[in-house]
Homo-oligomer: A and B are copies of this chain.
C-alpha cells in the first residue's frame, strides 16, 4: 500500500493522494441503500488526462482495483469503494473546454456538474436536456457512466442520445478517443455508446463531446387528479395515442403526494389517488394543454387544473422534484427504477401497491409516466432487522414484476451493486456471457470497478 501511494503521488499534484481514513470514508459510498462498500487504499484527485493515465498505469502494474467516481449521487452503488481500491475522483476535472453554438456541441471534462453545463448552454440559447433529479450536483461523467435519464426524457431522450464522442483512459493507461464531433457518423463499431452506462467497468471517461439543442420555451404544466393510478395511466396512454409529445409527463401516487405536502406544505390534493403532471414547451402549449385536459377528464380525472402562468408551473415541477427527498421523511428508503412498456404501467402500479400491502411497508411511487419508467420507493425502519428483510423482499418483488410485464430492472439508474444478481435474469445466459467477455476484453486484469454490473 505504501508503494501504491508513493507511486501514485509521483505523477499527481501535491495533496492529490489522500489516505486519511476520516476523509476517504466520506467517499466510500454513493446514495444507494443496501450496498456494501470496502475500505479504499486511497482517494486520488487527478486534474489532467495524463494524470488519470498515470493512475491507471500504476494500478495495472500493481494489480490494484480502481473505482471511478463523480459526485456520488448514484442510486445503485456503482461508485462504492471495493477493499484496497484506488478511489478515482474526477470532480477536479471540471472544465467546459468548448461550447460551440454553430455546431451545437460542448466539449467537457467529466467532473462538470450537469447544472453548470446547462446554464452555460443557456447563455447561448442552447440546452443540454438530460436532467436527472440530482442535476444540481451530479457530474456529466457520472451521468455517462450510469446512462442517466430525468424528467425531460419523454420528449428529449436520455444521456446516451447526447454523447457524440468520448475520451477514455483504458485499464492499461492508454487513451482511447471514440466517436466524433460531427452530427452523423458510422465509421466502425459504436464504442461511444458502449461506454455510456458501463459504470466505469470498461474504462475511465476523461472527456466528452456532447450534443446540445436549441433551448425550448418554458414549460406550461397541467395537473390532473385521478381516482386511481390505473385511470391516470389510461390518460397517459390516451395522450400518447392521440399523437402528443409532452415535454414532461409525471405521475405521483397518494403516498408520494402526502410525503411532499408533509415536507414542504405544497398544498397538493391529498384525497386524490394519483396526480398526473403534463407539460408542453412548444408554441401551441395552451391549446395542447386544453386538449390533454379533455383526454384526462375522459379517462376519469376528477380535477384538471392547467397552470395559470410560469410561476404556477414551476411550483408544480418543484413539487415533483421534491418527491425523493420527501420520501426520506418517512424512513430509510430504497428507490427502485423499473421501466415497463407504457401500456403495462397500470398493471405495474397495481402490482406495486399489492407488494406494499403484502410486505406491510409504505411504498410510494413516482413515475416518468410518459416513458413507463416507475420509481417505487420503499420506506422502512433501518433499525428493525425484520423490516429491512421485508424492504429488500419488496424491492426485489418489484423488479420481478417489471420483468414479467416485459420491462427492465433499470430504466435510468444503472445496475451497480444493487441489481447485479438481477442482470442475469434480464439479459439471459447468452447475452450475459457476451457482456462478460466484453468486460474481459477491455479489462483483462479485472481492475476496473470490479464487482459492479456483474
Contacting residues of chain A (157-197) with chain B, CB-CB under 8 angstroms: 158, 160-161, 170, 174-178, 180-191, 193-194, 196-197
Determine the residue in chain B with the shortest Cβ distance to A340.
B182
Contact of A189 among B149, B198, B411 (CB under 8 A): B198
Q: What chain B residues lie within 8 Å of A161 (beta carbons)?
A: 161
Determine the residue in chain B with the shortest Cβ distance to A243.
B214
Q: Are A431 and B215 in contact (CB under 8 A)?
A: no
Q: Which of A11-19, A28-36, A261-269, A421-429 contacts B (4 or more CB under 8 A)?
A: A421-429
Q: What chain B residues lie within 8 Å of A392 (beta carbons)?
A: none
Produce 1/0 per residue, A35-74, CB < 8 A to B.
0000000000000000000000000000000000000000
Q: Are B215 and A183 in contact (CB under 8 A)?
A: no
Q: Are A415 and B188 in contact (CB under 8 A)?
A: yes
Docked CA distance A431–B175 (Å): 9
A245 interface residue (CB < 8 Å to B)? yes
Q: Are B244 and A214 in contact (CB under 8 A)?
A: yes
A302 interface residue (CB < 8 Å to B)? no
Contact of A412 among B102, B153, B184 (CB under 8 A): B184
Determine the residue in chain B with the shortest Cβ distance to A160.
B190
Determine the residue in chain B with the shortest Cβ distance to A373.
B184
Docked CA distance A427–B190 (Å): 11
Q: Are B183 and A372 in contact (CB under 8 A)?
A: yes
Q: Are B453 and A185 in contact (CB under 8 A)?
A: no
Contacting residues of chain A (192-230) with chain B, CB-CB under 8 angstroms: 193-194, 196-198, 202, 213-215
Determine the residue in chain B with the shortest Cβ distance to A174.
B430
Docked CA distance A413–B185 (Å): 9
Q: How many copies does the complex hold?
A: 2
Q: What chain B residues lie within 8 Å of A356 (beta carbons)?
A: none
Q: Which of A305-313, A327-335, A433-441 contacts B (4 or more CB under 8 A)?
A: A433-441
Decide: A186 near B442, CB < 8 A? Known: A342-B102, A406-B181.
no
Q: Are A241 and B184 in contact (CB under 8 A)?
A: no
Q: What chain B residues lie within 8 Å of A104 (beta carbons)?
A: 240, 342
Contact of A183 among B237, B339, B431, B441 (CB under 8 A): B339
Decide: A411 near B184, CB < 8 A? Known: A243-B125, A245-B213, A431-B176.
yes
Q: What chain B residues lie within 8 Å of A430 (beta carbons)?
A: 170, 174-177
Docked CA distance A442–B372 (Å): 33
Docked CA distance A412–B187 (Å): 9
Contact of A197 among B180, B190, B340, B442 (CB under 8 A): B190
Determine the residue in chain B with the shortest Cβ distance to A104.
B240
A409 interface residue (CB < 8 Å to B)? yes
Docked CA distance A284–B287 (Å): 14
A110 interface residue (CB < 8 Å to B)? no
Q: Are B408 and A185 in contact (CB under 8 A)?
A: yes
Q: Are A103 and B342 in contact (CB under 8 A)?
A: yes
Produce 1/0 per residue, A128-165, CB < 8 A to B.
00000000000000000011010001100010110000
Q: Are B343 and A188 in contact (CB under 8 A)?
A: no
Q: Are A194 and B193 in contact (CB under 8 A)?
A: yes
Determine the residue in chain B with the shortest Cβ distance to A371.
B183
Decide: A373 near B187, CB < 8 A? Known: A102-B241, A125-B243.
no
Docked CA distance A184–B341 (Å): 9
Decide: A149 near B184, CB < 8 A? Known: A213-B245, A438-B441.
yes
Q: What chain B residues lie within 8 Å of A427 (beta carbons)?
A: 187-188
Q: Can you list 20 A-B pairs with a CB-CB distance of less than 8 A?
A: A103-B341, A104-B342, A176-B431, A180-B339, A180-B407, A182-B373, A183-B371, A183-B372, A184-B368, A185-B339, A187-B415, A187-B419, A187-B427, A188-B415, A188-B435, A189-B435, A189-B438, A190-B197, A191-B431, A438-B438
Known: A101-B240, A104-B240, A183-B372. 4 other contacts (CB 8 A): A182-B340, A182-B341, A185-B339, A186-B408
Instruction: Report the 4 A-B pairs with minimum CB-CB distance, sorted nearest first.
Output: A147-B186, A193-B193, A183-B371, A185-B408
